[in-house]
C-alpha cells in the first residue's frame, strides 16, 4: 500500500509504541511519529470517531479476518461486547458476511446496544457458574458456533470453548476477566479446536493502514461506530481513571 503524501494541517490517524516499548506517546499537544504510521482520514469521519475506532477497531477487524479466517455464513460469538473492541467486532462480523452474530456481556445496557448495532442475539455473562454460562451461549446459538472473538479470557472463554463446533476457532485479544482458562483436553482434541492469540503489535504499519482504511470506509457510510465521549486534555488524569473503571465508552482526549 503506497504511503499518503502528507501536507500541513492534514488530518491523520497514527499509532505509537508507548506502553509497548520505549518511545514517545501521543497524549500531548505535539508529538513525534514515524511518518509511515500515518493514515490520512476521510473527510466524512469526525476526529473523535476516528480516534475511538483506531487500534480497537483494527484489533476487532484483524481478529476476525487475519487470525479468525471468518467465512461467509459462519456463526460468531463476541465476548466482552461492551468494550470498544467488542462493539466493533459485532458490526465488523456482520459487514464481513457472518450469518449470525451473538454478543455477550455482563452489562445489560451494552447488550441492548449490541442489538442496535446488528447483533442477532445476546448472552448475559454475569455469574461464576461456567456450566450455566455455557448453557446460555448454546441456547443463543442456531447451529454450529464457528468463531469466538474473545477480549476477556477467564471464565467466559472457558464457557465459550465448550460450545465451539468441530474445527471452531477462538481468537484471544485480552484478559480482563482473568489470566487463565481451563480447557478439557478431550474436547479440544476431539473437536479439533484452534485457540489463537492476537496482538496489534504483530501487525505492520501497512496492515494497520489497510484494516483501518476498510473500517473508516464503513464508518463514513454510517455502518460502523463506537460509543465515545470527548474530554479536554487538561483532564487526562481523570479520563484515565474513568476509562479504567468503565470500558463501554471510549474517552477521547482533545487538546
Q: What is the pLDDT of residue 1?
A: 47
Who wins on pLDDT, 36 or 85? 85
Residue indicated by cell numbers 447483533: 119
The predicted-structure confidence for 202-214, as pLDDT tens digits, reads as follows 999 999 999 999 9
Which pLDDT tens digit goes with each residue over 17-34?
Answer: 777 777 778 888 888 888
In order of 8, 90, 169, 213, the CA distances from 12 in angstroms are: 11, 26, 34, 12
Which CATH number among 3.30.300.30, 3.40.50.300, 3.40.190.10, 3.90.180.10 corresponds to the domain 63-200? 3.90.180.10
Single pTM value for the model:
0.93
Question: Domain limits of the chain?
Answer: 12-55+204-254, 63-200
* Cα 223 to chain centroid, rounded: 15
Task: Show the CA angle centred on residue 8, arms to residues 3 and 12, nearest 5°.
Answer: 50
Task: Express each pLDDT in 121-176 by its tens digit.
Answer: 999 999 999 999 999 999 999 999 999 999 999 999 999 999 999 999 999 999 99
pLDDT at 188: 93
pLDDT digits (tens, 9 = 90+) for 219-236: 999 999 999 999 999 999
CA–CA distances in Å: residue 214 to residues 139, 218, 224: 33, 7, 10
pLDDT reported for residue 18: 74
Determine contact, residues 115/103, Cβ cutoff 8 Å. yes
User: DSSP class of residue 28?
Assistant: S
Amino acid at each position: 500500500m503506497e504511503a499518503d503524501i502528507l501536507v500541513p494541517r492534514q488530518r491523520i490517524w497514527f499509532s505509537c509504541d508507548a506502553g509497548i516499548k520505549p518511545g514517545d506517546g501521543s497524549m500531548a499537544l505535539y508529538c513525534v511519529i514515524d511518518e509511515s504510521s500515518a493514515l490520512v482520514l476521510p473527510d466524512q469521519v469526525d476526529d473523535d470517531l476516528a480516534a475511538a475506532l483506531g487500534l480497537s477497531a483494527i484489533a476487532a477487524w484483524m481478529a476476525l479476518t487475519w487470525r479468525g479466517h471468518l467465512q461467509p455464513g459462519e456463526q460468531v460469538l463476541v465476548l466482552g461486547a461492551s468494550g470498544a473492541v467488542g462493539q466493533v467486532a459485532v458490526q465488523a462480523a456482520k459487514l464481513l458476511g457472518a450469518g449470525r452474530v451473538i454478543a455477550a456481556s455482563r452489562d445489560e445496557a451494552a447488550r441492548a446496544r449490541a442489538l442496535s448495532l446488528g447483533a442477532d442475539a445476546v448472552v448475559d455473562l454475569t455469574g461464576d457458574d461456567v456450566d450455566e454460562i455455557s448453557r446460555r451461549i448454546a441456547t443463543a446459538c442456531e447451529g454450529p458456533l464457528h468463531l469466538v472473538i474473545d477480549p476477556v479470557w477467564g471464565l467466559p472463554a472457558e464457557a465459550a470453548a465448550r460450545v465451539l463446533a468441530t474445527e471452531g476457532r477462538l481468537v484471544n485479544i485480552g484478559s480482563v476477566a482473568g489470566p487463565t482458562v481451563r480447557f478439557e483436553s478431550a474436547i479440544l482434541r476431539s473437536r479439533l479446536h484452534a485457540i489463537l492469540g492476537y496482538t496489534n503489535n504483530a501487525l505492520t504499519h501497512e496492515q494497520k493502514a489497510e484494516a483501518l482504511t476498510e473500517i473508516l470506509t464503513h464508518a463514513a457510510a454510517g455502518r460502523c461506530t463506537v460509543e465515545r465521549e470527548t474530554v479536554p486534555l487538561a483532564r487526562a488524569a481523570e479520563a484515565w481513571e474513568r476509562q479504567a473503571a468503565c470500558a463501554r465508552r471510549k474517552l477521547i482526549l482533545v487538546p
